[in-house]
Structure 1
Amino acid sequence: MNILHILKNSLPYISGSTIRSKNILENQKKFANVYAYTGYNFKSDKKYERIDGIEYFRANPKLSIFLRTYNLFIQKIRKILYKFLYININSILSFLEIPISIITRKEIKKLVKGLNIDVIHQHSECQIGSISLRVARKLSIPYIYEVRAFLEDGIIVGSGKWRLGGKRLIRYVYNNIRIPETKILEKADVITTLCGPMKGEIVSRGISKDKIYIVPNGVDIVNINEKVPFNPVLPIIGYIGTIEKHEGISILIKVISLLTFAIPKIKLYLIGNAEDSYLRELKSLTKKLKCEENIVFVGRISYDKVKEYYRFIDIVVIPRLNRRVCRLVTPIKPLEAMAYKTLVIASDLPALRYVIDPYVTGVLFHPEFVTELMNKLTYYINHPIEKLAIECRARRYVEENFSWDKNIFKYKEIYEKLIYSK
């Protein structure tokens, strides 16, 4: 079978989403020919790349620059008119999107025909999703839409950038993102998503639960490099992932500053990309709390270097805030840490409970409770045997439930059902 995955982002850029795509594509090679296409929003100067044995087809680089600029212009008009006149003109402006639709549709259609594609598998992006859906229907090809996040939540979390307040922001997001994506979900042959809370949200939109399948985040089970022996006098805490406000990094920094009184040599490694303004804010906080020597801002690293950091990180903390996006979307971070036999302490939110069994495979704390997080970190730093017991159970749990070796065949069953029922 031949599968075309349509992605918003991909390697060589690193994020939780691109790592999931990498793992899906590479593991699906066990039973299918897999190809990837990235649309005009993906910045690349190449039309074609082969990465780790997977063929990535890029939107025409020269046209993509024009389309990105053109799309920003359309969105700017929408936001200005909505902000000052409080009107939504989607139907009026839709004709302006015709060039984007025609060019993208032509590229996808050419790939589908040229590669003899059996299934189009679109991953979370409603603008390209509506175009790829039309191609699938035109060519009578099964269509899967994978929900990895709810795009409207990302905008609401970062609402400072939009300068629309409260109800107006929510109405804008619903009209321009939630409603169009829901229409795609209604028309898709199958929907895949990451966890129970996300499936529940999709069902709440009136989508039949019978066509929604959960394929959770997973990891490639690795041979663990020998870890640096744990030293409770020199504990190393880590956060690995995109550094954004809703991830609660400021709370973690406050906890580390308090722990320095009892454990002066404690270190926190913050590994991942952050916007410059937020990075300045976090560095200013460390200076204010006088814990600059205890905090290491590593920045973005390549994926193949992650395992080197897990060799010496003793505890991974995921201090997500109690926001809708954090309650619904399960990150890949805890699973990777558990696979590397590293204790995970995370906010007690539904999406994290989906992968963490409290005190069995990890530890949870009430979101945004600084004292509770500090106490739990202190406890497991001072009780290494209990820490090790959880780490060993977590590793087995990931092997049994979140290994791509096993979970990838959920896709095979879905694809075969769609192809042979045509």
Structure 2
Amino acid sequence: MRILHVLDHSLPMHSGYAFRTRAILKAEIARGWEVACLTGARHVRPGPDPETIDDLVFHRTPQPAAGPSPLREWREMRSLAARLDRLIVEWKPDQLHVHSPVLNALAALPVARRHGVPLLYEIRAFWEDAAVGNGTGREGSPRYRLTRMLETYAARKADAVAVICEGLGRDLVDRGIAPEKIVVSPNGVDLGLFGDPPAPDPVLRDRLGLSGADVVGFIGSFYDYEGLDDLIAAMPALLARRPEAHLLLVGGGPMEAALQAQAAASPAASRIHFIGRVPHKEVERYYALIDILAYPRKAMRLTDLVTPLKPLEAMAQRKLVAASDVGGHRELIEDNVTGTLFPADDPAALAAALDGLFADRPGWERRREVARAFVERDRNWSSNISVYAPVYQRLTGKAL
């Protein structure tokens, strides 16, 4: 079985998208399937074509000429379609596995039909909702409605559709997509990367001033929908209850400057630490310093529909998890069992939830073990990819 994955971007760029892709590819290779990848024009990291990273082969799409929207997107799709057309002739895949955004599906659909290759479209988030979450779009605008129509069209025309969570699947059914056409491939963890958490590094801990501290942390991208402003706003109230509390923020993104300014103006400024982006191989060192991982996502359509990856990585690291009660988190976290849920958009409730967790240290080990067992049993990529096998087999007619 030869599977060609079509992607927005990939390693060596660092994102949840890239790491989910890596996990899928590694798990498929471990099953004996042949895989290759093609990234679209939005992969902006310079490199050769093809490029091998971590023993994975990535073919690249040339950058088209710049232009205003929607000319820019049309050129991106045309460039991707041309590169895909050549690659299908060269590599002869049995199956196309096209990952969102919808531009990839719109470019790939006519090429797949022309070559007679079945197409599975995997939606990780609806592009229109991602734009709202990133602050580049407005719900209900003409652009939003057009993008939603295109997303529905792509799902209808694809041979099969995969979604990362139940929320996205229910939304597609409401749009008229047949339920039997949809498969849920949930976010998971590559336990080869996150399966053996290291002990805290005392040198790093001392350098950051965290010796003897109660450490709350966030590791990920700094988008507005992540609610990190609420986490910073919760720190004075948490400090009033937990004088040794510190907040460790690892990562970066569009909200970084605004969050740093907010932290600098906070009474808790000396207890809020911005680490910046760190190499993926270094992430575990920072996980090891954190007692509670906080995920205060804001309540909105994107966060209600889409499940994040980071809480699962935290559970795999045997870390305590506190998260807002948006729909995407409720699919992952059982309150007071595998994590703690608190009302979204409420810094006071967040501070109270964190304080409650610190007060329950005798229960920490049990909660860590239950959460880790959940990841091993239900969200381990080595078993998660089994949901693709019957879809590939049905679409290609080949035994796996």
Q: Same fold (TM over 0.5)?
A: yes
Does the 8 A contact of 2:8 with 2:40 survive in 1?
yes
AA matched with 1:405: S
Q: Could you tell me how far apart the structure 2 residues matched to 1:267 and 1:70 are? A: 45
AA matched with 1:105: A
What pairs with 1:341-420 in structure 2 (closer than 5 Å)?
A: 341-420=318-397
In the alignment, structure 1 residue 210 sits paired with structure 2 residue 180: yes
Secondary structure at 2:240's aligned position in 1? Answer: coil
In the alignment, structure 1 residue 331 sits paired with structure 2 residue 308: yes
What pairs with 1:40-59 in structure 2 (closer than 5 Å)?
A: 40-45=41-46, 46-59=48-61
What pairs with 1:18-417 in structure 2 (closer than 5 Å)?
A: 18-30=18-30, 31-45=32-46, 46-60=48-62, 64=63, 66-67=64-65, 69-70=66-67, 72=69, 74=71, 97=74, 100-159=76-135, 161=136, 167=140, 169=141, 171-175=142-146, 177-221=147-191, 222-227=195-200, 234-275=213-254, 278-417=255-394
Q: Could you tell me how far apart the structure 1 residues matched to 2:376 and 2:26 are? A: 18
Q: Could you tell me how far apart the structure 2 residues matched to 1:100 and 1:356 are? A: 38
Does the 8 A contact of 2:7 with 2:104 survive in 1?
no
CA deviation map 1:341-399 (0-9, x unaligned): 00000011221111111111111011122222211211211221112211110001110
Q: Could you tell me how far apart the structure 2 residues matched to 1:324 and 1:125 are? A: 17
Does the 8 A contact of 2:96 with 2:120 survive in 1?
yes
AA matched with 2:196: N
Secondary structure at 2:332's aligned position in 1? Answer: coil
AA matched with 2:39: T
Q: Could you tell me how far apart the structure 2 residues matched to 1:228 and 1:348 are? A: 32
Q: Could you tell me how far apart the structure 1 residues matched to 2:77 and 2:234 are? A: 49
CA deviation map 1:284-306 (0-9, x unaligned): 21122222211111121221111
CA deviation map 1:105-147 (0-9, x unaligned): 2210111121110001110022231121111111111100000
Which runs of structure 1 show a deviation greater than 4 angstroms over 4 or more consecutive aligned residues? 99-102, 227-233
- Structure 1 position 178, deviation (Å): 1.1
Residue identity (%): 30
Q: Which of 391-400 and 290-299 deviates more?
A: 290-299
Q: Which of 256-265 and 47-56 deviates more?
A: 256-265
Q: Could you tell me how far apart the structure 2 residues matched to 1:140 and 1:225 are? A: 48
Structure 1 residues without counterparts, runs of 5 or longer = 76-95
Does the 8 A contact of 2:61 with 2:79 survive in 1?
no
Does the 8 A contact of 1:344 with 1:363 survive in 2?
yes
Q: Which of 333-342 and 401-410 deviates more?
A: 401-410
Give the aligned CA root-mean-square deviation in angstroms. 2.2
- Structure 1 position 158, deviation (Å): 4.2
AA matched with 1:211: K
AA matched with 1:51: I
Secondary structure at 1:223's aligned position in 2? Answer: coil
> How many residues get paired?
388
AA matched with 1:390: R
Q: Could you tell me how far apart the structure 2 residues matched to 1:310 and 1:202 are? A: 36
Q: Could you tell me how far apart the structure 1 residues matched to 2:300 and 2:395 are? A: 36
Secondary structure at 2:52's aligned position in 1? Answer: strand
AA matched with 1:140: G
Does the 8 A contact of 2:77 with 2:106 survive in 1?
no
Matched residue, 1:82: none
Secondary structure at 2:260's aligned position in 1? Answer: helix
Q: Could you tell me how far apart the structure 1 residues matched to 2:117 and 2:249 are? A: 44
- Structure 1 position 187, deviation (Å): 0.8
Q: Could you tell me how far apart the structure 2 residues matched to 1:210 and 1:370 are? A: 41
Q: Could you tell me how far apart the structure 2 residues matched to 1:3 and 1:379 are? A: 47
Does the 8 A contact of 1:232 with 1:381 survive in 2?
no
Secondary structure at 1:357's aligned position in 2? Answer: coil
AA matched with 2:335: P
Q: Could you tell me how far apart the structure 1 residues matched to 2:36 and 2:92 are? A: 11
- Structure 1 position 340, deviation (Å): 0.4
